[in-house]
């Protein structure tokens, strides 16, 4: 492990931070004692099922609920007309400083449907079986309309129009970077000029737990409770109360129980959330709605789906001098909660990657189409940017004859350049040493030897084609500060700070709350490590609470790899406040001055007199019984922080993938996968490595397996797990991980974020490897997923096929 930290050579010995502590969440999860949404059983529970449109685009002529209403066990059948007092869902992140033509879903479609699966009616029944039976008995008449599904095609003249306020189905047009004329001039002046159409296909996030919600209404107190599969219950409470249902925020409690994975899809406010609340009031019973997997595939959000025309200028020796990017981002039938922010702030402003590119212009056209909504999916904009710029590096390598590794090396931002402004409107990159991570990855994989082997195999017409794929990435995490990302700047209509409360109870036991919301990331462990480390207590004395708006201060939730870099720092700051107050109490108890108190091994003592120390428990007791506190001090150790960082954090690294392709069948074997990541300081390496593993699997799966496909009529052809290829254990390799550590100067813990790095890095590493293997065929680019049939067809039909076979 290499450290480029400015920290002292001998870091203080830690007890918890940096240690691979086994997760505290695991015992309940590995024994079946977790409590996921569908595990919750309330007295009197009833079950909702919706009737979904079979058409991608149609007018609703008539809905007959009569037969359904008389089915056994049915408590009620409702249509959109029954919920006209509920507003359409809000779009909370509209692209900054441009017009957004906003159309968002209602709880049930009214008059018109815009995608297959749009809910048009809902049944509530005694059992889920009865609810399905009755839903099947609802009779709906549609007038089918022509549909359009492709991002580029949807803006073409004559394409079917989805929404009156969005001519040509355009949600927004947005640009960033150097002015287009300058970039054109730079392109013209370049030695080498390359153009390509690069597609980043649509993906379905597929957390193994689908989405669901449970609504309960208490007429005695006029209070609503919503249990939901959510990455951000506080945000949902705010949106539901203030914008959707017009109920007072304090009359709504939102609870996220154990969450079975999210990957972005559970960030968003969905129609079923207000629906179950309204239904609970209507039928006077708690109402549960849980999606089937095929419903999840139809109408929960998807990710990616960009088509990009890129023009590249470079010098003969591989320096990239200009990039002109035009991207069509398919946002689906309606706008999901933060959809416009993804292809703009999180994509357009990251296309420079880790390279110094003097002229970049990005145009983004976000569009509607008769498909599922597209919003953040693990990486959210950054994978699309990384894929683009990493494909650009390889295209430049091919065009100039410079080795792909050398192209990257020649264009890297250097350590002394930080903080670095890429010129496309992103906040300055905080810190980095890109070449160091790059060198380490190349060394570990044996890059030179592999290139030699590749040459040998090509000369010998080896039946297996060797491919080496490089991907150097930088991403933005801990997205903040509010004054930049908020409404006046980037269009996110709120802050993006995070909260933490730390209470040391009378008995010395500690309860800490966070506004972030774990759904697999292990906050209960890593945040406990932080608390135990800072306060010098055993980790067993710490409990982390989250997920219930009734018990935790407002927080924005978990996404964008922000939990530690924002939520963790809020926690860290609350801990410092607790320590400071404890120091003052200890000083009082020891009759010393607070400046003379030092913390050591979880105890406070006067400098030079460690034998007379006060434990945190003793201090907490003193703070709690409160009869002998410093003058004017409030009782109790209880501190809250709302932390708004001064900048984002920018993790980086290099991944290298080595593939072997069967010349005859196009079948791809993953031979090696090496990843060197720099996520700043690490609290729990076990958890960080796990995040990277999972991220890499998702990223490589985009390159090789996954892709949501619609028929021209808007039918989702990959509508079940029988068709949508999820990676299985036999389809992924062993990941060889290593790290460099470049602490972020943005926050006092020097942390950056690790949740999305693997996904961002892996897709281009694998795609570049496959395309590198296919170089002898003269193939410049192929659209993902790079399946054997596609790879074989490309080889089979390539102009260079004959030559390659020589």
Partner 1 sequence: MFPTEFAYHRATSVQDAIAFLGANPDAKVLAGGHSLIPAMKLRLAAPGALVDIGRIESLHAIDVRPDGAKIGAMATYNDIRDNAGIARIYPILPEAIAEIGDAQVRERGTFGGSLAHADPAADLTAVFLALNGEIAVTGPNGDRTIKADDLFVDLWTTTLETDEIITSVILPAPPASNGMGYEKHAHPASGYAVVGIAAVLGFSADKTCESARIAVTGATSKATRLTGVEQALTGQKLTAELVSSAAGQASDGLDINGDLYASEEYRAHLVNVLTRRVLTSAAGL
Partner 2 sequence: MAEAPAKIETQRITLTVNGQEHAEEVEPRMLLVHFLRDQLGLTGTHVGCDTSQCGACVVDVNGKTTKSCTMFAVQADGAEITTIEGLASEGAYHPVQEGFWEMHGLQCGYCTPGMIMSSVALLKRNPHPSEQEIRHELEGNICRCTGYQNIVRAVQYAADKMGESGAASAD
Among 222, 292, 421, 540, binds partner 1 (CB under 8 A): 292
Using the contact rule CB under 8 A, the part of the chain among 258-266, 400-408, 427-435, 626-634 near partner 2 is 258-266
- Residue 587 CB contacts under 8 Å (≥ 6 apart), including other chains: 593, 594, 596, 597, 630
Q: Verify binding: residue 497, partner 2, rule CB under 8 A.
A: no
Q: Residues in contact with partner 1, total (CB under 8 A)?
A: 30
What does the DSSP assignment read for 728-794? -GGGS---EEEEEE---TTSTT-B---TTHHHHHHHHHHHHHHHHHTGGGT----PSS--HHHHHHH
Distance CA 51, CA 59 (A): 15
Of 162, 157, 163, nearest to 146 by C-alpha is 162
722 touching partner 1, by CB under 8 A: yes
Q: Does 718 bind partner 1 (CB under 8 A)?
A: yes
Judged by CB under 8 A, does residue 697 bind partner 2?
yes
| SS3 call for 498 | strand
50, 186, 252, 259: which one binds partner 2 (CB under 8 A): 259
Determine if 689 is a binding residue for partner 2 (CB under 8 A).
Answer: yes
Q: Binding of partner 1 at residue 110 (CB under 8 A)?
A: no
Interface residue with partner 2 among 351, 687, 774, 786 (CB under 8 A) is 687
CA 296 remoteness from chain centre: 18
Query: Distance between CA atoms of 153 and 289, rounded to whole angstroms?
Result: 35
* Interatomic CA distance for residues 69 and 46, integer angstroms: 15
Cβ distance to partner 1 smaller for residue 473 or 724: 724
How long a stretch of residues is the chain?
806
Q: Of 126, 667, 736, 780, which one interacts with partner 1 (CB under 8 A)? A: 667
Q: Which does 41 bind (CB under 5 to 8 A by kind): partner 2, partner 1, none?
A: partner 2
**C-alpha span between 23 and 525 (Å, rounded):** 5
Find the binder of partner 2 among 6, 7, 14, 26 (CB under 8 A). Answer: 26
Q: Which stretch binds partner 2 (CB under 8 A): 8-16, 102-110, 466-474, 690-698?
A: 690-698
Does the footprint of partner 1 cover residue 464 (CB under 8 A)? no
Binding mask 680-709 for partner 1 (x = CB under 8 A): -------------------------x---x
Binding test (CB under 8 A) with partner 2, winner from 10, 165, 221, 734: 734
- Map the footprint of partner 1 across residues 566-625, applying CB under 8 A: none
Conformation bin of residue 466: beta by default, left when phi > 0, alpha when psi is -120 to 50: beta
According to CB under 8 A, which one of 218, 249, 292, 443 is a site residue for partner 2?
Answer: 292
Q: Does 311 bind partner 2 (CB under 8 A)?
A: no
789 binds partner 1, rule: CB under 8 A: yes
Of the candidates 569, 726, 535, 714, which has an alpha carbon nearest to the alpha carbon of residue 642?
Answer: 569
Site string for partner 2, 189-218 (x = CB under 8 A): -----------------xxxxx--------
748: contact with partner 2 by CB under 8 A: no
Residue 675 near residue 737, CB atoms below 8 Å: yes
Residue 661: CB atoms within 10 A of its CB come to 24
**Smallest distance, Å, CB 724 to partner 1?**
6
Residue 44, burial from CB neighbour count under 10 angstroms (0-12, 13-18, 19+): exposed
CB of 209 to partner 2, least distance (A): 4
Closer Cβ to partner 2, 150 or 272, answer by number: 272
Nearest to 81 by CA among 62, 96, 104: 62
Cis bond before residue 569 (omega within 30° of 0): no
Q: Is 726 in the site for partner 1 (CB under 8 A)?
A: yes
Considering CB distances under 5 to 8 angstroms, the limit depending on partner class, which of partner 2, partner 1, none binds residue 258? partner 2
Residue written as token pair 């509508």: 719
Binding of residue 723 to partner 1 (CB under 8 A): yes
Of these partners, partner 1, partner 2, none, which one is at the site of residue 796 (CB under 5 to 8 Å by kind)?
Answer: partner 1
Tell me the per-residue interface mask from 54 to 83 with partner 2, x by CB under 8 A, - otherwise: -------------x--x-x-----------
Which long-range contacts does 479-482 make (Cβ < 8 Å, 24+ apart)?
479/346, 479/560, 479/562, 479/648, 480/562, 480/566, 480/644, 480/645, 480/647, 480/648, 481/644, 481/645, 481/646, 481/647, 482/644
Nearer to partner 2, 726 or 801 (CB): 726
Q: What Cα–Cα distance (Å) separates residue 311 from each residue in 199, 323, 413, 473?
A: 14, 6, 21, 20
When the beta carbons of 350 and 700 are compared against partner 1, the nearer one is: 700
Q: Is-contact 365 143, C-beta < 8 A?
A: no
Q: Applying CB under 8 A, does 30 fall inside the site for partner 2?
A: yes
Helix or strand run (H / E) with residue 202: strand 192-203
522 exposed, middle or buried (CB, 10 Å; 0-12, 13-18, 19+)? Answer: buried
Angstrom distance (rounded) from CA 561 to CA 544: 19
Give the interface with partner 2 as residue ranges (CB under 8 A): 22-23, 25-36, 38-39, 41, 67, 70, 72, 128-129, 206-210, 258-263, 292-294, 519-522, 686-687, 689-691, 693-698, 720-722, 726-730, 732, 734-735, 758
Give the interface with partner 1 as residue ranges (CB under 8 A): 128-129, 132-133, 136, 292-294, 664-667, 705, 709, 717-718, 720-726, 731, 787-789, 792-793, 796
């Amino acid at each position: 492990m290499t450290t480029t930290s400015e920290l002292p050579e001998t870091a203080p010995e830690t007890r918890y931070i940096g240690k691979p502590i086994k997760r505290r969440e695991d015992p309940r999860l590995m024994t079946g004692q977790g409590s996921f949404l569908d595990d919750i059983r309330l007295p009197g529970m009833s079950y909702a099922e919706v009737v979904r449109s079979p058409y991608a685009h149609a007018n609703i002529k008539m809905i007959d609920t009569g037969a359904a209403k008389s089915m056994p066990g049915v408590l009620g059948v409702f249509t959109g007309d029954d919920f006209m007092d509920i507003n359409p869902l809000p779009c909370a992140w509209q692209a900054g400083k441009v017009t957004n033509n906003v159309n968002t879903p209602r709880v049930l479609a009214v008059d018109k449907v815009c995608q297959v699966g749009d809910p048009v009616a809902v049944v509530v029944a005694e059992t889920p079986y009865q609810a399905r039976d009755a839903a099947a008995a609802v009779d709906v008449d549609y007038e089918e309309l022509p549909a359009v599904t492709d991002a580029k095609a949807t803006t073409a003249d004559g394409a079917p129009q989805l929404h009156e306020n969005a001519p040509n189905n355009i949600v927004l047009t947005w640009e960033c970077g150097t002015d287009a004329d300058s970039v054109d001039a730079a392109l013209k002046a370049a030695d080498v000029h390359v153009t390509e159409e690069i597609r980043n296909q649509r993906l379905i996030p597929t957390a193994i737990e689908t989405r669901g919600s449970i609504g309960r209404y208490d007429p005695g107190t006029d209070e609503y409770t919503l249990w939901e599969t959510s990455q951000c219950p506080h945000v949902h409470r705010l949106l539901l109360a203030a914008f959707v249902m017009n109920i007072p925020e304090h009359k709504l409690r939102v609870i996220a129980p154990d969450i079975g994975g999210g990957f972005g899809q559970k960030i968003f406010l969905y129609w079923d959330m207000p629906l179950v609340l309204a239904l609970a009031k209507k039928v006077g019973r708690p109402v549960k709605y849980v999606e089937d997997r095929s419903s999840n595939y139809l109408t929960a959000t998807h990710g990616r789906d960009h088509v990009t025309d890129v023009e590249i200028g470079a010098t003969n020796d591989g320096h990239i001098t200009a990039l002109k990017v035009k991207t069509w981002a398919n946002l689906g039938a309606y706008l999901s909660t933060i959809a416009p922010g993804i292809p703009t702030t999180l994509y357009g402003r990251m296309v420079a990657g880790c390279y110094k590119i003097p002229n970049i212009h990005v145009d983004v056209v976000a569009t509607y189409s008769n498909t599922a909504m597209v919003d953040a999916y693990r990486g959210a904009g950054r994978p699309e940017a990384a894929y683009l710029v990493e494909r650009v590096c390889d295209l430049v390598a091919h065009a100039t004859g410079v080795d792909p590794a050398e192209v990257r090396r020649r264009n890297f931002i250097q350590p002394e350049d930080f903080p670095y402004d890429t010129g496309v409107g992103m906040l300055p990159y905080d810190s980095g040493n890109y070449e160091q991570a790059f060198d380490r990855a190349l060394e570990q994989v044996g890059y030179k030897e592999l290139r030699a082997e590749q040459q040998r195999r090509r000369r010998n017409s080896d039946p297996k084609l060797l491919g080496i794929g490089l991907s150097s990435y930088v991403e933005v995490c801990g997205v903040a500060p509010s004054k930049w990302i908020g409404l006046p700047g980037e269009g996110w209509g709120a802050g993006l700070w995070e909260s933490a409360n730390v209470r040391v109870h009378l008995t010395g036991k500690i309860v800490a709350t966070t506004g972030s919301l774990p759904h697999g990331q292990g906050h209960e462990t890593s945040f406990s490590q932080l608390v135990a480390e800072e306060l010098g207590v055993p980790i067993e004395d710490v409990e982390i609470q989250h997920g219930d708006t009734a018990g935790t201060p407002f927080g924005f939730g978990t996404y964008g790899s922000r939990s530690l870099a924002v939520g963790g720092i809020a926690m860290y700051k609350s801990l410092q406040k607790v320590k400071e107050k404890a120091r003052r109490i200890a000083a009082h108890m020891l009759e010393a001055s607070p400046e003379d108190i030092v913390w050591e091994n979880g105890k406070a003592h006067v400098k030079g007199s460690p034998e007379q120390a006060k434990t945190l428990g003793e201090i907490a007791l003193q703070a709690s019984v409160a009869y002998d506190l410093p003058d004017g001090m409030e009782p109790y150790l209880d501190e809250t922080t709302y932390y708004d960082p001064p900048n984002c954090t920018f993790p980086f690294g290099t991944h290298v993938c080595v593939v072997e392709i069967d010349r005859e069948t196009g079948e791809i074997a993953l031979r090696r996968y090496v990843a060197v990541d720099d996520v700043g300081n690490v609290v729990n390496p076990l958890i960080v490595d796990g995040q990277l593993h999972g991220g890499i699997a998702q990223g490589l799966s985009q390159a090789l397996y996954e892709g949501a496909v619609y028929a021209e009529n808007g039918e989702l052809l990959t509508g079940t797990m029988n068709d949508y290829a999820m990676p299985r254990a036999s389809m992924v390799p062993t990941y060889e991980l290593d790290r460099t550590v470049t602490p972020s100067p943005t926050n006092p813990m020097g942390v950056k974020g690790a949740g999305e790095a693997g996904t961002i890095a892996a897709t281009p590493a694998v795609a570049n490897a496959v395309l590198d293997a296919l170089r002898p065929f003269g193939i410049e680019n192929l659209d993902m997923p790079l399946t054997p049939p596609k790879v074989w067809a490309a080889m089979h039909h390539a102009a260079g096929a004959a030559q390659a076979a020589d």
